[in-house]
Amino acid sequence: MTSATAPTTPTGQTPDTYTFPSHRLSRTLSNPNKTPLVLVACGSFSPITHMHLRMFEMAVDHVRQNMSEEYEVVGGYMSPVSDRYNKAGLASATHRIRMCELACDQTSDWIMVDPWEAIQPEYQPTAVVLDHIATEVNDVLGGIAPYEGAPRSEYKRAHISLLSGSDLLQTMSQPGVWSLPDLDHILSGYGIFVVERSGSAVHNTLAPLKEWGNNLGKDWIENIHVIRQLIANDISSTKIRQFLRQGMSVHYLLPACVIEYLREHRLYRDVEEGREVRSNSMPPTCRGEKGKAKEEGERAAS
C-alpha cells in the first residue's frame, strides 16, 4: 500500500447527515482465497502523530509476514473519540476529525477517518464502534468481492480487528477498567493487533487476560497479535501537547499539514495554572456488569 493524495472526506457531519467513508476501501480481493481484513484504531488523536499512522503500516507488514495465507488488508479506519470522553487536553471533535483527515489524505491511500463515533452525543465504547464498522462494511456495503465481477452471493464478510498501542492492552488487563462482556466481545469476536511501545512489556499483560478468558471458556490470547517495533518510536500526543505548551518545535513528529492546522487554530496552547484545560464533558461509561464500568484509560493510546 502506497502513499497518494485523494479528495478529503466530508467534514461537519451530524448523526442525521452521516455517511460512512468507503472511498479507500478495497472492494475486491487480490486473492479470492483470503479473508478481507479491516483495521480500526480508536483513540483521542489529540493531535494525530506519525506514530498513529505508522501503526497501520506496521500492522500491514505483520499480516503480510505472519498471516498472509489467511488475511488480506483491504482498509483501515481511524475513529476519533466523542467530545463526551472526559480527558485532559482533548481538542474538539471537529478539530480532531479534520486533523486526522488531513493526515490520511496527504500520507496514505488506504487509511480513512470515520467520524461516526466523534459526532455521537454520548460516549461510545470501543465494542460498539467495532460493531458499527462491521455493520457498515459487511451489511450496508455488502462485504468484499472475492474477484472482479463476482456475484453478490459470493461476496465475503470482512473481519474487523482493533489496532492499538500496548498501553491500551495494559488497561484491558487491569481489573475494573473494562467490563468483561466488552472484553469478550472485542477479543473473541474481533481480536486486536497490538504495537509494542518503548518501556511496555506486553507479556506482563497477557496473563490476566488469559485467565479471565479461560474462566469464560474462551481463548482470548489467540486473537491478540503482538507487533514488534523494529524501529523504536514513542511519539505520543501527550508529549506533543507538552511541546506545544512550551513553545517547542514539533516538526517531523507530525505530518506537516497537521502542524499547519495546529498553528492556524492555535490548538493546545491554553493552560490553566500550569495544567491543560480539562473538558467539561461527562465521564465515559461502557456496557457490562451492573450496566456500567469504568473505561478511564481505554483510549490511552492516543
Domains and CATH numbers, the chain: 35-233 (3.40.50.620)
pLDDT of the residue at 150 = 98
13-22: per-residue pLDDT in tens? 889 999 999 9
Least reliable range by pLDDT among 121-125, 133-137, 176-180, 288-292:
288-292
298 has a pLDDT exceeding 80: no
Average pLDDT value over all residues in the chain: 86
Q: Quick one: which of 168, 133, 175, 167 has its CA closest to 288? A: 175
Contact 34, 72 (CB under 8 A): yes
pLDDT of the residue at 229 = 87
Q: What pLDDT band is residue 299 in, cutting at 50, 70 and 90?
A: low
If one counts every other C-beta atom within 10 angstroms of the C-beta of residue 54, the result is 15
pLDDT of the residue at 230 = 85
Residues present in the chain in total: 302
292 has a pLDDT exceeding 60: no
pLDDT of the residue at 204 = 79
2 has a pLDDT exceeding 50: no
- CA angle in degrees (0–180, nearest 5) for 32-64-150: 15
pLDDT over 90, % of the chain: 74
pLDDT of the residue at 1 = 53
Q: Quick one: which of 9, 3, 69, 4 has its CA closest to 37? A: 69
Whether the predicted model's global pTM rises above the 0.85 cut:
yes
276 has a pLDDT exceeding 60: no
195-244: per-residue pLDDT in tens? 987 656 687 789 999 999 999 999 999 999 999 888 888 889 999 999 99
pLDDT of the residue at 200 = 62
pLDDT over 70, % of the chain: 84
